[in-house]
Structure 1
Amino acid sequence: MVEARVAQLTGVHAVSALGRGADAQLAGVLAGVPAFGPVHRFDTAARRVTVAATLPEVGTLADELAAGIDAACRAAGLDRAERAGCVLLLAVHGGPAPGTGPSPAVLADHLATRCGLSGRNRVYTSACVSASTAVADAAAQITHGAVERVVVAAGYLVEPDQFALFDAGRALAVDGAVRPFSVGRRGLLLGDGVAAVVLESSAARRRGAEPLATVAGWGRAGDAFHPCQPEPGGSGLARAVDGALRRAGLPPQAVGYVNANATGTAQSDAAEAAALRRALGEQATHVPVSSTKSVHGHALEASGLLEFVITALALRHGHLPVNAGWLAPDEDCPLNVVTDRPHRTDATHALTLNAAFGGANTALLVGVA
C-alpha cells in the first residue's frame, strides 16, 4: 500500500511585536491586546499616522531571518546533516532601497549558506501573498514527491519607505486601531513579522518528529479587477478557497475557523466577507472568523507565514483568537466574528487567507496533525 504524502509542519519560529517565539504569538493573539504604539525606529513627524506594531529591539532582517530559520530547524529536530539538501523558500520585499541590503536572491543564498541549507532556493516577492504562496509551493513539492523537506521563511520589519507609501495612500488607520469587519474601521496598521517553518513529508514521523499541523489544502486565484481595490464580490478569493477545499477533498462544513486577511479597510473587508459567503455558503454565517492583524499588524510579505503559524497553533491548542478593535457589526460583513474572548474549539481544519494588490489571492487549509 502506498503511503499518502501530506505536508506536515514539524518546526516553527515567529517574531512580531507580540514577542519572540511561537508561544508568544499564540499567547498574544489569545490575549487580544493590540501591540500598536508610537514608532521610534525612524522619524514619523511628517506622517499622518505615527504608530505601528514594532519590536523595541530588533536586528537586521538578515540576522532575524537566520535566527528564525535556525530556531525552526532546531524545533523540528534537524541536525546539520538533515539540513543538507533542504530547499529554502524565502518571502521578502521585492527590492531594497539603495544601500539598505542585498537583493532578495542574494539574501536567500546568504541565509541558506549561513543556516546549512544546500538545496535550491526560491524567492517570493509577490507582496502580501508572498509567504502564503511559498507555503503552497512547499506543500505541492512535498505531496508530489519532489522533495522530502522544505524550509519556508519570511520577513518584514517596519521601515520608512513602505510606511510612507501606505501613509501617503491614506491606507493607515488614523485612529491607531485595526478594526476588521467592524463598523467604523479606518484602515490598516503595519507590524513587524519574521517567521520560519519546516514542512516535511509524512516520512517525518519515521525520524521521530511530532507534527504540529498539516497543510491539508491550498488554493490560489487572481481577479485582476484593479491595481489596488479588491473585486467587490470576492470572486478571486472565493476561487482560492474552493481550490483549497477541493484539493483536500473536504466540504465547506469542514472549516472550523477562518483567520481572515481582513486588514480593517472598508472595501477589502466587505469583499472578503462576500468571498466567504460565496465559497462556504451557509457555513459562512456559522464558522468563527477573526483577523489576527488586529493585534500584530500587517507584516506585508511576511503576513501569510506569521498568520499560518498562528492559525496552526490556535487549532492545535483549541482556542480561537479574538478580533480586536471591534466596535459593532457592519451589514456588509455578516460573519460570525470572534469579538469578546477566545473561543474554545475542537475543529480539525481552519483556513488562513491572504490577498494582495493586483488581485492575487491565496487560501491555506490547515489541518490538525
Structure 2
Amino acid sequence: MAEPPVAQLTGVHAVSALGRGADAQLAGVLAGELAFGPVRRFDTTARRVAVAATLPDVGTLADELAAAIDAACAAAGLTGVRRAGCALLLAVHGGPPGPSALAARLAEGGGLSGPTRVYTSACVSASTAVADAATLIARGDLDRAVVAAGYLVEPDQFALFDAGRALSDDGAVRPFSAGRRGLLLGDGVAAVVLESSAVARRRDGEPVATVVGWGRAGDAFHPCQPDPSGTGLAHAVRAALRRAGLPPQAVGYVNANATGTAQSDAAEAAALRQALDGYAGQVPVSSTKALHGHALEASGLLELVVTALALRHGELPVNAGWRGPDEACPLDVITDRPRRTTATHALTLNAAFGGANTALLVGTP
C-alpha cells in the first residue's frame, strides 16, 4: 500500500528586520539580535510608543510578496512548468487593492495557475493557510501549494495597538518573563512551497522540513482576552499531535505565540501544561517575537520558517528580554544563549483576537 501524501517544505524565504532571506532569519535569531528601533516610516509623535522592528529599505507589500514567492519557488527548484497548476494561499491584512485582487495578481505574476485562497483572520492567518495547504496535500487534492504572507508596520494598526496599551513601553518584548510589558510590531514577509512528499521525491526535491501535524481550536471566551485556562490552544496542540500520531514527549521545542503580554503568556503556559501533560516543564520554549517583533498576519509563516530552520540546524533560539521567572509561566524557557538540540519535532503556536488558536507540528525530513 502506498504511503499517504505528507506535506513537505521544499522552499522557504522570509524577510524581517533581521534581514532578507531565510538564512538571515536563522542567523538573527541564533545571534539573539534585537531588531527593534525608532519608527521612521511614519509620524509617531502622537503615540505613546514609537518603537518597532522595521526594515530600513522596503518596497510595497505587493512587491515584497512577489519577490518572496519567486524566491521560495526558486529555492524549491520550481521552474515555470512546475509552477503551473500550483495553488497560492495568501495571508494578508485588508486594504487596496483588496486581498483577493492581490492574490490573483501575485499568482499571475508568479506563474501560479492553480486555485487561490486568501486569509484575513488576523494573527492566525498564515498558520491557518499552512494547515489548509497541508490538508489539501494530505487528501491528494493538491500536489503542491505556495503559502505567502505579509505585514509591513503601518500607522493604522500601530495606532490601534498603541491606543489599546498593548505595545511595550520599555522598548523590549519579554515573553513569559517577570516584568513583561507588552508586544512590539515588526515587518514580516514570507513564502514557502509545500509539496506532497511523493511529488518532491520524484523530482529529487530536498525538503527543509515536514509538516506532520496541525490543529485549530477556538476559545469563545472574549473578543480580545485569551481564556486564562488555555483550553482552546491546548485543544489545537492535542489535535496536531493526534494527527501526527505522536505523544507529547516527541515535542523537542516550542516556538510560542507569546507576545510578552501578561494575560496571553500565562494562558499559553497553561495550555502547554494541559496539552503536554507532565512533560511541559521539560520542553524548551522560546518566542522569536522577542527578536523580530509581531508580524500580525504574517507571524505564523515567519515563525514556521524560523522554527523549521532552527530544528534542522540543531540549535534553538533564545527567549530575549528575559528578566526572571514568572510563577504563572512555569516553563523551560531558553534564556541567556541558544540551546543545542537533537530533537526531531517542534511546535509553532499562534493565537488571535476572537479566541482563534493554531498549532503546527514540524519534523526533520
Q: Shorter chain as normaliser: what TM range?
A: over 0.9
Letter in 1 for 2:161: F
Q: Which of 259, 263, 266 is the equivalent residue of 1:267?
A: 263
| Alignment of structure 1 residues 20-35 onto 2, 5 Å | 20-35=20-35
- Distance in 2 (alpha carbons) for counterparts of 1:317 and 1:223: 34
- Distance in 1 (alpha carbons) for counterparts of 2:33 and 2:67: 26
- The equivalent residue for 1:171 is 166
- Distance in 2 (alpha carbons) for counterparts of 1:330 and 1:293: 18
Q: Which of 187, 190, 207 is the equivalent residue of 1:195?
A: 190
- The equivalent residue for 2:11 is 11
Q: Which of 207, 210, 230 is the equivalent residue of 2:206?
A: 210
| Alignment of structure 1 residues 251-330 onto 2, 5 Å | 251-330=247-326
| Alignment of structure 1 residues 43-192 onto 2, 5 Å | 43-93=43-93, 95-96=94-95, 101-192=96-187
Q: Which of 214, 217, 222 is the equivalent residue of 1:221?
A: 217
Question: Is 1:333 matched up with 2:337?
Answer: no
Question: Is 1:245 matched up with 2:241?
Answer: yes
User: Is residue 232–residue 267 contact of structure 1 (8 Å, CA) maintained in 2?
Assistant: yes
Deviation at 1:3, TM superposition (A): 2.4
Letter in 1 for 2:304: F
Gaps of 5+ in 1: none
Letter in 2 for 1:130: S
Name the SS for the 2:359 alignment partner: strand
Letter in 2 for 1:4: P
- The equivalent residue for 2:362 is 366
Letter in 2 for 1:143: A
- Distance in 2 (alpha carbons) for counterparts of 1:320 and 1:307: 13
- Distance in 1 (alpha carbons) for counterparts of 2:327 and 2:30: 26
* Alignment TM-score, normalising by the size of structure 1: 0.98
- Distance in 1 (alpha carbons) for counterparts of 2:241 and 2:110: 35
Identity among equivalent positions (%) equals 81
Letter in 2 for 1:256: G
* Alignment TM-score, normalising by the size of structure 2: 0.99
Deviation at 1:4, TM superposition (A): 2.6
Name the SS for the 1:239 alignment partner: helix
- Distance in 1 (alpha carbons) for counterparts of 2:78 and 2:332: 40
Q: 1:152-172, CA deviations, whole angstroms, 9 ceiling, x for partnerless residues?
A: 000000000000000000000
- Distance in 1 (alpha carbons) for counterparts of 2:34 and 2:264: 21
User: Is residue 259–residue 311 contact of structure 1 (8 Å, CA) maintained in 2?
Assistant: yes
Gaps of 5+ in 2: none
Q: 1:58-108, CA deviations, whole angstroms, 9 ceiling, x for partnerless residues?
A: 000000000000000000000001000100000001x21xxxx31000000
- The equivalent residue for 1:342 is 338
Runs of 4+ aligned structure 1 residues displaced above 2 Å come to none
